[in-house]
Structure 1
Amino acid sequence: MRSLNKNLVLAIASMGIFVEALDIAIVNLALPKIEADLGLSNDSGYKIQSIYILIYGSFLILGGKLSDYLGRKTIFMAGCAIFLFTSLGAGLTHTLNYLVLFRALQGLGAALLMPAAFSIVNYYFTEPHERGRAMGIFGSFAATGAAGGVSVGGIIANYWGWSWVFLINVPILLLILVIAYIYLEKDVTTDRQLPDIPAAIALVLGMLCLSKITEGSHLIISVLLLSVSSYYLYYRLKTQAYPLLDIRVLLLSSLRKGTLLFFLLGALFTGYLFLMSFLVQQNFGFSAAGSGLLMMPFNIISILLGRFGLPALSKKLSAKTIAMSGAIAMLAGTLSLVLAVQLHSLAFLLAGGACIAGIGMTLCYTGYTVIAMEHVPAENLGIAASLINTAYFVGGGIGLPLISVFMSPASKQLDTRPLWLLFIVACFTVARLFFRGKPNVPVN
C-alpha cells in the first residue's frame, strides 16, 4: 500500500499542517479590527487568540493517542472536518462569546489534525534521507503557515474584512478532505484498547491549570488542582495495562531532547510573533496591511528554503547540524531585533525577522522533529508527535506571560527588555544542542 504517490500524501499532510499553523498567527494583526468591530477591550480581544492555543495544547496528547488507536486517516479527516465547520462559524459570527467558542473548537480540530499529519508523513517516509527531505517540506509548510499568518492576517483584515481570516480556511480544508478520502490508504483495524479517558481528563485539567498559573490568576486553586491532576495522571500511567502514554517512550533520550528543544522553540517563536506585531506597528508606525507586506519576504525565504534548500541540505548534513544552524539563526535574529529597537533601524528589524521566521524556524522545526522522532517505534509516532508539539505550546503558553511582565504598559513603544528574554531563550537552545544525550533505551 505504501507504493502510492508519496508526493501526493506529503502534499495532503503538509496542507493540513499549513492551515493549522496559519491559524495560530493569522489573528494577530487582525485583532485591532475585530476589537473595533465588536466593541471589545484589549482583555476581551486577547481571549480570541489565547483560547485557540490553550485548547490546542491541552488536547494534543489525546489527539495523538486517538491517531494511534483509531487510525491516522480517520483522525486526520475528523480534525479537518471540525476545523472546517468551526472556521465557517468563526467567520460568520458577530459576537464575542460565539467567536471564542468557535476558536476553542478550532483548537480541538487542530489537536486532532496535527498529530495525525505527523504520523502520516513518518509512516510513508521511513528511509532516513527520504524522511529528512519529507520533513523538510512538511516543516516548511508549518513554518510558512506560522510566519505567514502574521502578514496574511493583516492584509486580509485590511482589504477583505476580519471574517476572512477564518473563512479562507474553508475551501482549502474542503479540498484536503476530498483528496485525503480518495488517496490515503484505509486505516488497518487494530485490537488496541481505547485510550485511558480518566488519564486524558487529568492531563487536560493539568494543562488548563498550568496556563492559569502562568497568567497569575487563581494561583492557589490552580496549583492545588495541578498537583492533584498530575499525581492522578502519573498513577494512571503506572497502573493501567493500556496507559494513555507509554512511559517507556519517554525513556528515549532523543525524544526527551526534542521535547525540550520544542519547548524552547515555542517560547521563542510565539514570543517573536507577539512582539513583532508591536514592533512593526508601534515602533515603526506601519498599518496592519503595511505590516503584512513588510513581513511577506520572510515567508518567501521560508518557502524557498523548505522547497529547495532543505532537501539538498538533508542529503549532506545531519539533523543536528541543521538544527544547530537554525538555532544560531534564531540567536542572531533576536540580537538583531534588540539592535533594531536601540538604533530604531528598519534594516535590523528586517534582518531579525528574516533570521527568525525565514531561516531559523524552518531549519529548527525540521531538525528538531527528526531528532525527536528518530528512534520512536511506528506504533508510537502519533503520541510522540503530540508530545513534542505539546511542548511547543507549553513553551509558548509560559513564554507569553513572562514576556508581558517585561513590557511597559505606560509606553506606546516596545523597549528591549522582552527582546532580551527571547535572546536568552535562544542561548539556552544553542547550549542544549551542544550537549550529547544518553544512549536511547529500546522500546519493546
Structure 2
Amino acid sequence: MQSRRNLILILASVGTFVEALDIAIINLTIPSIQAQFNIGAESVQWLQTLYVLFFGGFIIIGGKLTDQIGRRKIFLWGSLLFMLTSLGAGLAPSFEALAVFRALQGLGAALIMPAALSIVSNTFRESQERSRALGIFSSFAAIGSGSGLSIGGLLSTYLSWHWVFLINVPILLVTLVLAYFYLPQDEKDENIPKTDTLSGILLVFGLLSLTYGTHELMHIKEQPLVVGSSLVLALVLLGIVFYRLKTVTEPLFDLGLFKHTSLVVSNIAFFALGSFFIGFLFLISLMLQKDMGHTAATAGLLLVPFSILSALVSKFALPLILKRLNPTQIGILGWSCMFVGGLSLFLAVFLNHPLTLVLFGAACISGVGMTFCFTSLSFLGVRDVDPANYGIASSLTSTTYFLGAGIGLSFMTLLSQLFPSDWAVGGLSVLILIGYALCGMATILYMAYDGKKAVA
C-alpha cells in the first residue's frame, strides 16, 4: 500500500517537473531558433510568453475541472495533450506552427498542475505525511525550473533545439502508462457544481489581453490604439468576471476562499515569485551569453551544479527543515536566498561580471531559494482550504505565479528599453529583480506578524 502511494507521488511529481522544466528550458535555445527561422528577438520571445499566458490563463479552468470531472482523468488528458504538443513543437516546420504548439503546451500544463497537486493532497491526508509529500512534490517543480537552463543549453548545442521539446515525449509516455494503471479511480460526487464555462473563457481572454497589453507597453507610441484597447478590454473582461463571481448561482470559484489569510498571502507571494524567477531565467541567459561571451553549451554546463544543488537541497536539507520550521519561516528563508542572489548579480554588473559572483547568485536563487519558496507557498496555498477545493486553490496560486511572470518580465523589459545600458543586462534590470524579492519577503513577513498577533 505504501509503495503504491509512493509511486503515485512520483507520477504526480514527474508531471509537474516536466511542465516546470519547459518554462526554463527554452531560454538558452533562443539563438538557435532565431537562426533557423530567421526571426528577431521580439518575435522569438512569444514562445515563452504564449506558454506563460496559456498556462496562467487556463489553469483556473483546469483546477475547476479537476474538482468536477476528477483528478485522474484531468491528469491523464493533460499529460497526453502535453506529450502530443511537445512532439508537434519538436517537429514544427515553421515558427508559426512552433508558436501554436507552444501555446497548447501551456494548456496541457494548466491541466496537469492542479490535478497533480490534488492527487498528492488527497493521497496523503495525515498532516505530517502530507507536509512531507507536498515538500517532495514542490521540490520536483523547483528542480524542473532550476534545471531547465542547463538542460536546454546542452540539448540545443549537442543535439538541436528540437530536443528541448522532444525530450518530454518518452518521459510522459512512461508516466501516462503507469498513471493509467496505478492512479486511483476518481470518486463520483454528484454534489460538485458545474463549471461556469463563460466566466472561465472571459477570465482567460482577460488575462491574455492584460498580459499582451503590458508586454507591448514599450510600443505604445507606435501603436497607442492597439495597446490601449488591449488594456481597456482586459479591465472590462476581468470586471465582468468579478461581477459573475459575485452574482451567478454556480461561480467559477467561491470568493469566500479568500477569507483564508494564508491563501491570500500565498497568491501575492506567488505573483512576486513568478516576476522574480522568470525574470532571473531571462537575465541569467543574457548575462552568460551576451555579456560574458559563453556559448549555450558552456552556459548550460555552468548551471548544471545548481540543478544538482537543488536536488540535494530537496532530498536532504528540505525534509530536516520541514521538521524544524513552519511554512512561513521556510518562506522567509527562501526569499532571503533570493534577495542575496539578486544582490550578487547586481554587484556583478558593476564589477565586470566576475564568474564566481554570478554563479554564487545563481546558486542562491535556482539552487536553494526557489526550492524553499515554492515549497513554502504551495503549502500555504492549501493549508486552510477544504480538501474538496484543493484543485481550485492550486490553480489560483498558479495563475498569480504566471500572471506575475508575464507582467513582471514585461515591466522589466519595458524599463530596460526606456533606460538602456551598455550591457545586455543592466543594473536597473537586476535592481527590479531585487525589488520583486523584497515584495515577496514583505508578504511572508506580514504572514508571520499576523500569525503572532492571532496567537496573542
TM-score (norm 1): 0.96
Ranges in structure 1 where 5+ consecutive residues have no aligned partner: 440-444
| Structure 1 runs of 4+ with >4 Å offset | none
1:201 and 2:212 equivalent? no
CA offset digits 1:286-326 (Å, max 9, x no partner):
10000000011111111001111111211121111111110
Q: Displacement, 1:411?
A: 3.5
Is 1:38 matched with 2:37?
Answer: yes
Residues 370-409 of structure 1 correspond to what in structure 2 (within 5 A)? 370-407=379-416
Q: CA deviation at 1:341?
A: 1.4
Deviations 1:26-67 (A, max 9, x none): 111011101101222222211222111111111010000000
Q: CA deviation at 1:357?
A: 0.3
Q: Say if 1:129 and 1:315, in contact at 8 Å, map to a contact too.
A: no
Map of 2:12 onto structure 1: 13
Offset at 1:406? 3.2
Taking the aligned partners of 1:335 and 1:43, their CA distance within structure 2 comes to: 28
Q: Which has the higher mean CA deviation after the structures are superposed, 409-418 or 98-107?
A: 409-418
1:330 aligned counterpart, secondary structure:
helix
Map 1:168-247 onto structure 2 (within 5 A): 168-191=167-190, 192-215=192-215, 216=217, 218-247=226-255
What is residue 96 of structure 2 aligned with on the other side? 97
Give the C-alpha shift of residue 348 in structure 1: 0.9
Aligned residue number for residue 264 of structure 2 = 256
| Aligned residue among 364, 375, 378 for 1:355 | 364
Aligned to 2:110: 111
Q: Secondary structure at the match of 1:411?
A: coil
CA distance in 1, matches of 2:258, 2:227: 29
For residue 162 of structure 1, give the secondary structure of its aligned residue in structure 2.
coil
Which amino acid letter does the alignment assign opposite residue 180 of structure 2?
Y
Distance 1:163 1:9, change over 3 A: same
Contact 2:269 2:439 in 1 (8 A): no
Residue 82 of structure 1 corresponds to: 81
2:27 counterpart SS class: coil
Deviation at 1:149, TM superposition (A): 0.8
CA distance in 2, matches of 1:296, 1:18: 16
Mapping for residues 321-340 of structure 1, pairs under 5 Å: 321-340=329-348
Measured in 2, the distance between the counterparts of 1:305 and 1:376 equals: 28
Structure 2 CA distance, aligned partners of 1:279 and 1:100?
A: 25
Question: Which deviates further from its counterpart, 16-25 or 208-217?
Answer: 208-217
Deviations 1:311-357 (A, max 9, x none): 12111211111111101000100001111111121111011000000
Structure 2 segments unaligned to the other structure (5+ residues)? 221-225, 452-456
1:273 aligns with 2:284: no
Letter in 1 for 2:317: G
Please name the residue that 1:435 is paired with.
Answer: 446
What is the CA distance between 1:8 and its match in structure 2?
0.7
Count of residue correspondences: 438
Residue 364 of structure 1: CA displacement? 0.4
The aligned counterpart of 1:414 is 425
More off after superposition, 267-276 vs 364-373: 364-373
C-alpha displacement of 1:193: 3.2
Conservation of the 8 A alpha-carbon contact between 1:123 and 1:378: yes
Distance 2:131 2:188 in 1: 29
Conservation of the 8 A alpha-carbon contact between 2:26 and 2:152:
yes
Q: Percent identity?
A: 44
CA contact (8 A) 2:63 2:391 kept: yes
Distance 2:108 2:439 in 1: 32
CA RMSD of aligned residues (A): 1.5
State how far apart, in whole Å, the 1-side matches of 2:247 and 2:3 are: 41
Q: Deviations over 1:70-124 (max 9, x none)?
A: 0011000000000010001111112011111111111100000011011111111
314, 318, 321: which one aligns with 1:306: 314
